[in-house]
Amino acid sequence: MKRLLSMREALREAMRQEMESDESIFIMGEDVGVYQGVNQVTGNLIDIFGPDRVMDTPISETAFMGAAVGSAMLGLKPIVELQVVDFISVCLDPLMNQAAKINFMSGNQIHVPLVLRAAFGAGLGAAAQHSQSLEALFCHIPGIKVIMPATAYDAKGLLVSAIRDPDPIVFLEPRRLYSEETNVPIETYIIPISKADIKRQGKDLTIITYGSMLPNSLELASLLNEKYQIDCEVIDLRTLQPLDSQTILKSVEKTKRVVIIHEDIEFMGIGAEIAAQISQTDLIYKLKTPIKRFGAKFSPIPFAENLEAETLPQLINIEKQILAMFRPKL
């Protein structure tokens, strides 16, 4: 049975159902309990499971991240919430130098089944220290898997998979999409990690995206189809590390044109890696136009609404460049 849930509700349900079936799972972070989470994701879970399993921590990300890594090494399954992903800057060592490497250094004897949940993204006027998209940073750390859902349905299934995974996961949640609703089953289900999803079938152009830019990309695809009869295929990556290269290459082989859109800074972002992977196959000789990438400007996120918008990818600019890819046809 399905019903409409917002992404925050779907995430909460995933945690509740997993905590009901596995007593080793607990949640920790700033204001996740009595305050119900700064983004209202944990909600009433403290009323259901009590303060021993939904733990409000001091304002010390380094302390509770280190505690989470240690508890995971001893067999518990912590779900750690950072209020915004920007705060990783003060507690990266336990994640990058401990959690990510223990399995390798122990010869596969010690696992760290830890899930780090963190909201990310601009568009809400939160300014430079609370608006970043740092997924490329995490993807560059061997030993960590990076997940980023864009719908409530995907959020629940992917979070269940992340909680059950034996290794550390960074689970990034687009703040602008917390209230967006989709049909979500009541029962528990899983979505495989490292499997992209084709959200829209098409034959003329492949749009590769994820997270907060998925709604924009689907809107762009509909606009291009209605105005110019350009039929776009839209791939939602969902997992960034490990990357589903097979789905990407199969789509590109069909359409022969590629656009990559993400909120993270364009320079050295996820789009650069995808473009490189495509260009290192024989598909590079079959492409009808060069690969296009669109990301945020190389700048801290401004506070002013108009400047913030200008920093992020704009649909009108992307539309113009896509039309140039089809100019001989139009």
SS3 for 62-100, per residue? HHHHHHHHHHHHCCCEEEEEECCHHHHHHCHHHHHHHHC
* Rounded percentage of the chain residues whose pLDDT exceeds 90: 96
Does 259 map to a domain? yes
Helix (H) or strand (E) holding 229: none
Q: What is the mean predicted confidence (pLDDT) over 245-267?
A: 97
Does 19 map to a domain? yes
Is 181 catalytic? The answer is no
- Residue 1 confidence (pLDDT): 76
Query: Is the model's pLDDT at 223 over the cut of 60?
Result: yes
The closest alpha carbon to 329, from 212, 162, 159, 205, belongs to: 205
Query: Is the model's pLDDT at 117 over the cut of 60?
Result: yes
Q: Does one domain contain both 156 and 223?
A: no
Does 190 map to a domain? no
Query: Is the model's pLDDT at 180 over the cut of 90?
Result: yes
Q: Catalytic: which of 30, 81, 130, 308?
A: 130
Query: Is the model's pLDDT at 328 over the cut of 70?
Result: no
Q: Does one domain contain both 40 and 78?
A: yes
Q: Which amino acid is it at 189? A: Y
- Residue 260 confidence (pLDDT): 98
Q: Output the domain CATH number for residue 289.
A: 3.40.50.920
The closest alpha carbon to 131, from 275, 316, 309, belongs to: 309
Q: Does one domain contain both 174 and 244?
A: no
Q: Does one domain contain both 177 and 79?
A: yes
pLDDT tens-digit series, residues 236-250:
999 999 999 999 999
Is 266 catalytic? The answer is no
CA 65-35-75 angle, to 5 degrees, is 35
* Domain end marker among 134, 161, 185: 185
Query: Is the model's pLDDT at 139 over the cut of 90?
Result: yes
Q: What is the pLDDT confidence band of residue 7, given thresholds at 50, 70 and 90?
A: very high
**Backbone angles phi and psi of 156, in degrees to 5:** -65, -50
Q: Which domain holds residue 166?
A: 2-185
pLDDT tens-digit series, residues 312-327:
999 999 999 999 999 7
Q: Catalytic: which of 9, 61, 233, 263?
A: 61
Count of domains for the chain: 2
